[in-house]
Structure 1
């Protein structure tokens, strides 16, 4: 370990179970010397195993519905009390689509479900940042990271409304990043991660086939949850203090690769170059 987060404090949202990226981030942050509060929606906490993570990392849990300004205000207020002052980093790892769960095609979206997905998965970042700014809860040069996916830039039919929602999430990170950076030097970035075998990811129709496809395209293969956590730790650290308002691809090179020899071979196309 490198003590990259020694003396730093934070809030980590979205740790559901050992497969969660947020879970891995918490473990890595703890190993790098950070102290933090864990948070998730009450229903997610009942489904997950967050108590075991809290015990392993010596952390306290503050439940919060990320769509509620009141509960987020309580989260940031309590976190400062628990951690002894302003915080240095926040992980936004929150995503949900009822339309995907119910296998509703993109062209036939249920708009109530769509609005719910926007509120939970994207607007929650704006609410979180707005509350933190009003409370002046994040130290100067603090870092906020939100997890996203490349469907915000390219079309993946199975990702349906979450593609639009992730595009909104990334836009919020840029727009809020400008204002928060100008006023408080707080930096805000999104990490666009490879298809990852998390509880949420594997719930998407056709995930297994797409995981294999992306793995065959990316020259380094798919980035796993643990390596994503490593990357998030660097973004929380002082080593990246001038990086803000960016959408950072962490995908083994997938986003920059048009086609691979492996995929061409699988399609029966010979490379005669």
Structure 2
């Protein structure tokens, strides 16, 4: 059911790779709720994904952009306003990559060039995106920016290696930039800490399947799906949450505040 929560709103959605990705679901939901938007991703990711199919289904245009390039981001925000007919009201940052994880390098043996690449792609890109938007005055007052994160920024998950540190930086940028953008333009900035989700990126992490099942057994409501996350992001883009900013919002079925569940204890023979 649609509620017209984003009727008349314009936006930019990054990171839609395929129909399993959260950004893809956000785009579908934003379209259902009446928004118009542009889609963006790195050129290499676009070659790997099916973004053209999403653009056709949502009546959207695609602007390729390397989120680590200020020049590309300036082009993204400038062209988006031309295409959409004005400033944007919402932006989704759904960008994450760790070369160390891809190459299965242990955290204590991290390759620092790979580490820095991960920081640039997954965290600094958020700062660059916000800085460009602010410089160009590209987001309307009371606009909303959301970045996707994971609770490894707060707790240690050995398999998440350097991405844990990178997500912590991402969340800090949301708080720090959220203050300045809020004071100057009333733009709100939040991060959503999502459950383990069976996306292309998530499934590439070693042991992801076992951990997905573990988190599902801990969370009272079970793991939140990509579609659930999209619904939550839509509420954050809407005017219903206009006073929410600088927050890291857990969207994980209660996992983050549950110590242990009866289901997990039963696996150890504890009643």
Report the TM-score when normalising by structure 2: 0.99
Measured on the aligned residues, the alpha-carbon RMSD in Å equals 0.2
Separation in 2, partners of 1:93, 1:188: 14
- Runs in 1 of length 4+ with deviation above 4 angstroms? none
Residue of structure 2 equivalent to 1:256:
257
Separation (CA, whole Å) in 1 of partners of 2:196 and 2:169: 19
Q: Secondary structure at the match of 1:2?
A: coil
Distance in structure 1 (CA, Å) of the matches to 2:127 and 2:86: 22
Aligned to 2:128: 127
Aligned match of 1:166: 167
> What corresponds to 1:151 in structure 2?
152
The correspondence of residues 1-273 of structure 1 with structure 2, limited to 5 A, is: 1-270=2-271
State the alpha-carbon separation in 2 of the partners of residues 149 and 134 from structure 1.
Answer: 29
Count of aligned residue pairs for this structure pair: 270
The whole-number CA distance in structure 2 between the counterparts of 1:157 and 1:269 is 26
CA distance in 2, matches of 1:177, 1:23: 25
Structure 1 portions without partners, runs of 5+: none
SS of alignment partner, residue 12 of structure 1 = strand
Distance in 2 of aligned mates of 1:172 and 1:137: 19
Output the TM-score relative to the length of structure 1: 0.99
**In structure 1, how many angstroms separate the alpha carbons of the residues matched to 2:27 and 2:256?**
27
Tell me, what secondary structure is at the counterpart of 2:100? helix
Please give the secondary structure, in 1, of the residue aligned with 2:142: strand
Deviations 1:18-77 (A, max 9, x none): 000000000000000000000000000000000000000000000000000000000000
Shift of residue 269, structure 1, vs aligned partner: 1.3
SS of structure 1 residue aligned to 2:13? strand
Whole-Å Cα distance in 1 between the matches of residues 217 and 247 of structure 2?
26
